[in-house]
Amino acid sequence: MSRNVIDLKVYDSRDFPAYLPKLSKLYDDLFSGGKGFRAKLIRMMASNLSLDGKVEHLLAQTIEFIHNASLLHDDLVDRSQLRRGKTAAWTKYTPEYAVLAGDYLLARVMVNLSSHGNIRLVQYTAQVIGDLLEGEWLQDSVVGDFFVTLEQLDRIHNLKTASLFKWCIRAPFIAQERYNEDLHQTLEEMGTLLGQLFQRSDDLLDYDVRNDEGKAILGDLKSGYLNSFGAYLCKGKSRQEIDQIVKSYDLESFYENLGGKNEFDQKLLEFDEMNKNLIRMYDHHLERLKTHLKPGEEKLIDHLRPLTEILYWRRKP
């Protein structure tokens, strides 16, 4: 299969046993939504690195399977009723089926990758799945903790969110058996920064900042989870003030408890400024990446550069 005819439809019900009740229906629901951003990232990496079409498909499928498995588990852990505007799998099909369906996807990832034969890719993928689980575990352990700090949340997000971004940009190089240590460290740093920026931007949606997707307002806070922007806003506040802030029932009362809309806007400016430094750091690592690319691969830099705009500022590509 040549790479220019590759179809990035990563899920096909025929790849899974038809005799298992509800499995196909559950996966149909699961894979029918979502932007497939990670698969697109793989496609972009693959096209710039001239990756074989089959490998590109394998990688795109792998990342989407892992991501969707994590969503199945995540919704159950968080007791979220909705996923992509539809009833979450654990409520529609029972929690047991949701867990098993997630596990099945992860098992399929391992089968597919080991068939490909690159043991380093299998090893790295297993490590990323481990990181995801650790992140999920840790995140659950801080639910209801409204005094958690941004630094502590960053550590969780590095495991939970950034690990998949790191995989997307490292796996194509590993698949090509390019194992240079400095190259992978550079990619690791970039993935960490992308994950952090994406998570912070996603957390801003909760406060209706750049919320073009129409995400539920104060959803995290009402679920007992103080996200990264919430932690930033609460930094330096007394326990009594934080207690008051987290009891806010809507955005207006949130502004009021925080000290006014102006205070909120000022903090948002500072938060953005802090994240601009992360973007500068990402650009710095992009320059490092240049030195590891082969002739003809330079366009990868041009494609990776706008990712921070898309992920943090939520600008359309």
Partner 1 sequence: MGDLITLSKGSKDFDSYLLGTFAPDKRALPLQTLNVNSSAETVTFKIVPVSEIGRPSFLQIGAQVLKIRSLLLVLVPLFLMVTKNIADSTLMDPLSTMLATFGVLLAFLAVNVRNDYLDHMLGVDRVLEESGSRAIQKGWVTAARLKSISSVLLILSLLCALPLVLTYNSLAGVIAMGLVIGLWAQFKRKNSFKYRIGGELALFVMLGPLLTVGYQLAMGAPFDGESVWIGCVWGWLTLFVVHLRNFRNIFTSSQAGFNNTVNWLGFDKTRRLLAMWWLVFLAINLGYHLYFAGFYWGFYLSIVLSAPTLMFISKLKNISSPIGSELYEVYKMGTYLFLLTIGMWVFECVWYLFL
User: How many chain residues are in contact with partner 1, going by CB under 8 A?
Assistant: 24
Figure out which of the listed residues 145, 252, 263, 302 binds partner 1, where binding follows CB under 8 A.
145
Query: Which residue in 31, 10, 8 sits closest to 101, CA to CA?
Result: 31
Under rule CB under 8 A, which residues in 162-191 are in contact with partner 1?
Answer: 181-182, 185-186, 188-189
Q: Judged by CB under 8 A, does residue 77 bind partner 1?
A: no
- Smaller CB distance to partner 1: residue 52 or 283? 283
3-state secondary structure of 214: coil
Q: Which residue has the tokens 């690592």?
A: 285
Tokens of 173: 């190089």
Query: Which residue in 41, 17, 5, 297 sits closest to 169, CA to CA?
Result: 41
Figure out which of the listed residues 77, 100, 133, 142 binds partner 1, where binding follows CB under 8 A.
142
Q: Judged by CB under 8 A, does residue 270 bind partner 1?
A: no
Figure out which of the listed residues 7, 151, 252, 298 binds partner 1, where binding follows CB under 8 A.
151
Cβ pair 245, 237 in contact under 8 A: yes
Q: Judged by CB under 8 A, does residue 281 bind partner 1?
A: yes
Neighbours of 10 (CB within 10 A): 21
Q: Judged by CB under 8 A, does residue 275 bind partner 1?
A: no
Cβ pair 11, 64 in contact under 8 A: yes
Q: Judged by CB under 8 A, does residue 244 bind partner 1?
A: no
Q: Judged by CB under 8 A, does residue 155 bind partner 1?
A: yes
| Amino acid sitting at position 314 | R
In whole angstroms, what is the distance from residue 47 CA to residue 62 CA? 17
Least Å distance, CB 156 to partner 1, is: 7
In whole angstroms, what is the distance from residue 290 CA to residue 292 CA? 5
Q: Judged by CB under 8 A, does residue 255 bind partner 1?
A: no
Q: Judged by CB under 8 A, does residue 285 bind partner 1?
A: yes
Q: How far is CA 245 from the centre of its chain?
A: 27
In whole angstroms, what is the distance from residue 17 CA to residue 5 CA? 27
Least Å distance, CB 247 to partner 1, is: 17
Q: Judged by CB under 8 A, does residue 100 bind partner 1?
A: no
Figure out which of the listed residues 58, 156, 162, 171 binds partner 1, where binding follows CB under 8 A.
156
DSSP letters of 129-141? HHHHHHHHHHHHH
Least Å distance, CB 163 to partner 1, is: 13
Residues of the shown chain interacting with partner 1 in the complex, contacts defined by CB under 8 A: 138, 141-142, 145, 147-149, 151-152, 155-156, 181-182, 185-186, 188-189, 192, 277, 280-281, 284-285, 288
